[in-house]
Structure 1
């Protein structure tokens, strides 16, 4: 089966924002628009995943999450995709490898919140991810300091670029990463789900 990607041209700079988006919210839109500007990206693809292997419970149905994401993120340079399901991948390393095979002339950048950098060393083949694509890290409430002190950040210390070099990140040979500070949005998918369910207990921030 041929897997189709959003339309791209050789040399385009494309940010990849992965997650369950359960549900998508304005915080996701906020960091996406910020990443487009600061990293000089031509496009951002939201990779709405079949499910996050690090989470105990599965997300809502894919079609529901895609529809909700398209309501939240209405930007001409942002594509909402189910390409992980089409590729048949669940792990980020496999997804990136698949996209690089399909679009070898595209300059991909993996985008993540600083809360994900804190646990990045727990991801499957995380060092392979860092070796494949530059990584743009966007500050999230309560995790900036922990992200800077995380095991992955310490191991990749020599590959970190100053914020002033953010626009060069897509052209950098990996490993390369930038941690960007930005105006904070306190929203998380976990908080929204808890509000809908009338729950007050705390869980980890959603990807």
Structure 2
């Protein structure tokens, strides 16, 4: 298992509170910065998956990206918390405290230590398109249901991706979204709906031009 040096920051890297039986969405990313497109995904998945809570997992860094200019974890967590208004959404950087580098480590830890919670992994369609590049992605799909939310311009790449083809047998109909959290993995769903063209990279680029 690949681990980063643990980074524990009081008030930033704790696991959010929860209770047995809760349906909890896990929405990971760098969130540099969080924007209205993220808010839209959170609102839609909370409602359509009938989740009790959604945990925003602010990552120490994406293994597939250059993180040299990534702001400190604490700054990104605090900015995301200031952005979020729904009390069901909890923002945490707990992966850093555990030294996790990859999402499969997070899923393995949460499903092992909290087997009485019903976790759902949430990702955008652009992430599904590259999901086969994630370390141990098959293990992730085998351990936790996955909700994929549509992203502008990513639908074809996502649904024609290696991961989508591999997991074709486990795809649920969109009308069964409310059942996903109760399903045994592997199970995944592709959600159509409201879309936003905003992206964190575009927001950062516009700031740099000012």
Partner Cα distance (2:190, 2:154) in 1: 12
Describe the superposition over 1:106-144 as per-residue Cα deviations: whole angstroms up to 9, x where unpaired: 000000000000000000000000001000000011001
The runs of 5 or more residues in structure 2 that have no matched partner are 1-5
Describe the superposition over 1:78-108 as per-residue Cα deviations: whole angstroms up to 9, x where unpaired: 0000111112101000011111233221000
Q: Which 10-residue stretch deviates more, 64-73 or 174-183? A: 64-73
Partner Cα distance (2:15, 2:66) in 1: 29
Q: Which residue of 2 aligns with 1:202?
A: none
> What's the secondary structure of 1:142's corresponding residue?
coil
- Pick one of 194, 200, 208 that aligns with 1:189: 200
Question: Do residues 50 (structure 1) and 60 (structure 2) align?
Answer: yes
- Aligned residues, how many? 199
Asked whether the equivalents of residues 26 and 72 of structure 1 are also in contact (C-alpha less than 8 Å), the reply is no
Q: Which 10-residue stretch deviates more, 37-46 or 98-107? A: 98-107
TM-score (norm 2): 0.91
Asked whether the equivalents of residues 45 and 81 of structure 1 are also in contact (C-alpha less than 8 Å), the reply is yes
Q: Which residue of 2 aligns with 1:12?
A: 22
Partner Cα distance (2:47, 2:89) in 1: 12
Partner Cα distance (1:197, 1:106) in 2: 42
**Offset, 1:4:** 4.6
Partner Cα distance (1:57, 1:32) in 2: 24
Describe the superposition over 1:42-97 as per-residue Cα deviations: whole angstroms up to 9, x where unpaired: 00000000000000233211111011101211111000001111121010000111
Structure-to-structure mapping, 1:112-191, within 5 angstroms? 112-191=123-202
Asked whether the equivalents of residues 87 and 98 of structure 1 are also in contact (C-alpha less than 8 Å), the reply is no
Q: Which 10-residue stretch deviates more, 143-152 or 107-116? A: 143-152
4+ residue runs over 6 A deviation: none
- Pick one of 97, 112, 124 that aligns with 2:108: 97
